[in-house]
Amino acid sequence: MMDNNKKYQSMGFGLGLRKEHYQDVIDSLPVAGSLAENNSRPNVDWFEILTENYLVAGGKPLYFLDKIAEHYPMAMHGVSMNIGNTGALDKDYLKQVKTLKNRINAHWLSDHLCWTGTNGTNAHDLLPLPYTEEAINHVVERISQVQDFLGDRMLIENVSSYVSYKQSEMTEWEFLSEIAHRADCLLLLDINNIYVSAINHEFNPLDYLLSVPKERVQQFHLAGHSDYGDYVIDTHDMPVCDAVWSLYAKAVEHFGDVTFMIERDDNIPPLETLLMELNLAREISEQVKQTGYDAVQIEKKVQKIQSRLAYEFPQNQEMLV
């Protein structure tokens, strides 16, 4: 039985735990048996792990994860639940996920509002659903099954999309909100995904952002994308762009304190570089909470960081929008 207090406690500002940074994080942990402080602890409040990277018993990823999870709050983020599929839920996968969640004492787990394959074929992509009443009923039933199995509310994330269905009967934000309400689940709002889909499908991202139920939004994702002019692709290989930072500032104004993290899955920079972006999120959040949304102030903060990132990663500069 889930309690009525819908949201979990906020965890602050986090990053995705990536193998490129394992050693930096491990090196900054307190040394067992030593009373001396380790002053190299990075300024990150929590880590999000990619669930599927840690489902194999033994091996280095799990070894590092166990060590790091002793010292940092964790959340799990999966790509394989296939919540929109019409086949049976993968019970073995769910058992593995639950075991890992207990092992690292993860605060919550999330997966995407999508389908990733059907009839035994894996598309290796997060494919959007048609926004229909039929799809709502289907997905709500499946999220409920997962939550009953876990004994906890899960988070569902909005995906970026590049196609739409003529069968759709409502907007994506109406679809997402209705599912969250009926399944009694929480939301992981990916602000970059909203922006990417807004460009690709020509809607106002604020229409989406401001209509999602506040009491369900547990976490934000931000990420970088690639801009091809007429369309953008959610590549997670770039710094977060100015327009998405601005949208984040609007999100803080509207939703208040929400657990935050930056996704970076390719072209991984040093940890210090991601910490600069994370700090920008903290600064924007503080600014908005103190004085409200102020486009000039936000722009100043973003430009300061973007020029430093451009200096350290000149190959990213020309792709920033």
- In whole angstroms, how close is the CB of 66 to Fe ion at the nearest point? 25
- In whole angstroms, how close is the CB of 265 to Fe ion at the nearest point? 10
Rg of the chain over CA atoms, in angstroms? 19
- CA 318 to each of CA 12, 95, 311: distance values in angstroms, whole numbers, following the listed order: 31, 45, 12
Q: Among the residues of the chain, which ranges form H helices?
A: 22-27, 60-69, 91-103, 133-150, 172-183, 191-201, 205-209, 242-255, 271-291, 295-312, 314-317
State the residues that interact with Fe ion by CB under 5 A: 190, 221
- In whole angstroms, how close is the CB of 3 to Fe ion at the nearest point? 27
Q: How many CB atoms are located within 10 Å of the residue 310 CB?
A: 15
Nearer to Fe ion by Cβ, of 49 and 62: the residue is 49
Pair 16, 271: CB distance under 8 Å: no
Helix-, strand-, coil-residue percentages of the chain, each rounded to 5:
45, 15, 40
Nearer to Fe ion by Cβ, of 190 and 237: the residue is 190
Output the CA torsion sign for 129, 135, 136, 142.
Answer: negative
Q: Which two tokens stand for residue 215?
A: 């009491």
- In whole angstroms, how close is the CB of 75 to Fe ion at the nearest point? 12
Nearer to Fe ion by Cβ, of 25 and 262: the residue is 262
- In whole angstroms, how close is the CB of 261 to Fe ion at the nearest point? 9
- In whole angstroms, how close is the CB of 143 to Fe ion at the nearest point? 18
Nearer to Fe ion by Cβ, of 101 and 221: the residue is 221
Question: Cα torsion for 295, 227, 174, 144, to the nearest 10°?
Answer: -110
Nearer to Fe ion by Cβ, of 113 and 284: the residue is 113
By C-alpha distance, which of 198, 190, 192, 188 is closest to 162? 198
Nearer to Fe ion by Cβ, of 21 and 112: the residue is 112
